[in-house]
Amino acid sequence: MIIGSISENKNFESRVAITPDIINKYKSLGLDINLSRNYATHLGIKDDDYKNAGANILTSDEEVIRNSNALLQMSILANENLDKLKENQSLIGVLNPYSNEKKLREIVSKNINCFSLELLPRITRAQSMDILSSQANLAGYKAVVDSFAYFQKAIPMMMTAAGTISAARVLVVGAGVAGLQAIATAKRMGAIVFATDVRLASKEQVESLGGKFLIVEGAENLETEGGYAKETSEEFKKKQEELLKETLKKIDIVICTALIPGKRAPIIIKKDMIDVMQSGSIIYDLAASQGGNSELTKVNEICDSDGVKIMGEANILNKLPVSASNLFAKNMFNFVKNLYDKDKKIFEINLEDEIIKETMVK
């Protein structure tokens, strides 16, 4: 059995699904690996690095697709490559079924097995495959580093003979994986950190990292069984807005991370809240690709609202592609290992396995 992977569209995606250090693990399962030429040269990884690890480098994307039983990708294939898929092949990656529903219906109708890893269930056995967590962790870190680099004041408190510089005050909106890493990173760099989330269970996690949790009066736990945030009621939104507007008057940097799977990101930071922020403040919106948590966010732009900068990055992990690829490749291997029956030498679609059942696009 052969797994393959072709280059992504580098205008949008710098990460790759297979790295040289994971090849031996695939080989130990009895799997061969086909990759397209110059697969990861943009990351400083030469084709020879893959060859030396045991992978086959083929001349074209078409050749890789034609000679592979399963394709591992960061995202769904381009239309011209989707047409080259064959019956009984498997396509595994971050396929974004909410946005690519029509494409995926067409692929599935051709008896091609599609697995979208962002649909993984939140169970212990799936943790090693959890691409959302591994990538969000890096995103939370990088958002803090980038916003601090753009901020024109020192971050930690400094006491000098000339006077004292106050520590920067950071607000993290959304305390999921990205938010918690943002809190930890900002705290390590000397900032005073506040955080808010609709999931009350986040309070203990925020405080364990040294952050101060902002609680909306009369809040109830708005968390799904899968551990994601629910949409909030209008009454909750109004109370949250009042609390945030008062808090933002004293905040220097806001890191927005709040997302609801398959839906537009909730608008949490309204324009009237931005209006009360101090000139020179920064809003870094990690939810930009899904519409943004800030009302003024624009994808891949830095907007200025009376001195407040709003930064909306479509894919922040393109700034950390090597680290992100290393983690993604390990997640992907663990998923394939669970899918592949080494004894039978087949990719076995066992729908009694919750991981396979939940990630398979039907």
Q: Is 130 an annotated catalytic residue? A: yes
Radius of gyration of the chain (CA): 22
Given 32, 37, 75, 122, the catalytic residue: 122
Catalytic residue among 5, 15, 26, 130: 130
Cβ count within 10 A of residue 51: 14
Q: From the centroid of its chain, how far is CA 123?
A: 18
Q: For residues 179 and 170, what is the distance between their CA atoms, to the nearest angstrom?
A: 12
Strand ranges for the chain from DSSP E: 2-5, 32-36, 56-58, 70-75, 90-94, 113-116, 158-160, 163-165, 169-173, 192-196, 212-213, 253-256, 282-285, 301-305, 308-312, 340-341, 346-347
Q: How far apart are CA 80 and CA 115, in angstroms?
A: 20
How many residues does this entry show for the chain?
A: 362
Which residues are CB-neighbours of 149 under 8 A, at least 6 positions away? Answer: none
Asked if 105 is an active-site residue, the reply is no
Identity of the amino acid at 156: P
Find the catalytic residue in 28, 60, 99, 127.
Answer: 127
CA distance 326 to 85: 26
In the set 133, 134, 205, 325, the catalytic residue is 133
Active site residue 116: no
Alpha-carbon gap, residue 213 to 205, rounded angstroms: 9
Among residues 47, 49, 188, 228, the one annotated as catalytic is: 228
- Per DSSP, what are the bridge partners of residue 116? 93
CB atoms near residue 34 (< 10 Å) = 23
Q: Which residues contact 214 (CB under 8 A, 6 or more apart)?
A: 171, 194, 195, 196, 243, 244, 247
Q: Which tokens sit at 104?
A: 């995926």
Please identify every residue annotated as catalytic: 122, 127, 130, 133, 228
